Amino acid sequence: MHTRIQEHMKAFQKQNKNRGRLLIHCADQPGIVAAVSEFLFGYGANIMESSQYSTNPERGTFFIRIEFECSELQEKEQEMKAQFRGIAEKFEMRWKFVYVHEVKRTAIFVSKEPHCLLELLWEWQSGDLMTDIALVISNHEDAREITEALRIPFYHVPASKENRAEAEAKHKELLQEYDIDLIVLARYMQILTPDFVASYPNRIINIHHSFLPAFVGARPYERAYERGVKLIGATSHYVTNDLDEGPIIEQDIKRVNHRDNVEDLKKIGRSIERSVLARAVKWHLEDRIIVHGNKTIVF
């Protein structure tokens, strides 16, 4: 890792050594916010940001994300988790504490097209994507030079229908070795097996080069051109066993017209893909996403 990036990370960890996040969802009912606020106040925590949403105040689901500052948080974190369980049980919450100084470790999967990888690397170099990019895995050699120039380990693992089980066994070995928290498919053009996906629930983010649910699967730009669409887009989503149908995190579009051929659509689409994927990854790293069924709440 380059010295400048290490400096960004060390400064971030120092600045956020006492910063925590609490994500909750449960059945909506009176008293949730009061109970959580009183709990944090009891530990001397100051709430820096709070976002909440209810699907229906009478019989819906309540979601909240709280970011707080608490002196000597690292010494208190285990006790806070243990003591919060009583509140969680009372309201039947699904919840997690996150400590901001614990920077997530990311693996990026890529095939031949490098534009999404390059966008993530640029955001990472500038300090705007706060993660430790631990390694890049590819079924082609094309991205090796780009990756190794930044001193990121690069692994070429050939993958196809014929050797999928063998390739994924190697992937899992590497992901475990590097203690990976998040997997990003930056135009990785291989279908993952149900076994692999099940090993990383809501921890694999994909970019699909279409405004889903339109044009699921392969060759979406060609199919969009044949259909004569006037808008093209890209969708970032968590990977599930249903191809390109996982919980959507972010989408964007741009207008096109009859003068644009397939190559024009692809060129326009690449710029959308880059920004959509980068935003989705950043929101995941900042713990701004709660998955509920096949939808996401993004704070």
Q: Cα separation of 149 and 153, whole Å?
A: 10
Q: Cα separation of 173 and 69, whole Å?
A: 37
Q: Cα separation of 175 and 136, whole Å?
A: 10
Instruction: Identify which of 94, 115, 54, 116 has the alpha carbon closest to the alpha carbon of residue 278.
Output: 116
Kindly give the pairing relationship between strand 61-69 and strand 132-138. unpaired
Element of type H or E holding 73: helix 73-91
Active site residue: 181, 244, 260, 287, which one?
A: 244
Beta bridge partners of 132: 105
**Do 13 and 103 form a contact (C-beta atoms < 8 A)?**
yes
Q: Cα separation of 292 and 249, whole Å?
A: 12
* 252 in active site: no
For the annotated catalytic residues, the residue numbers are 244
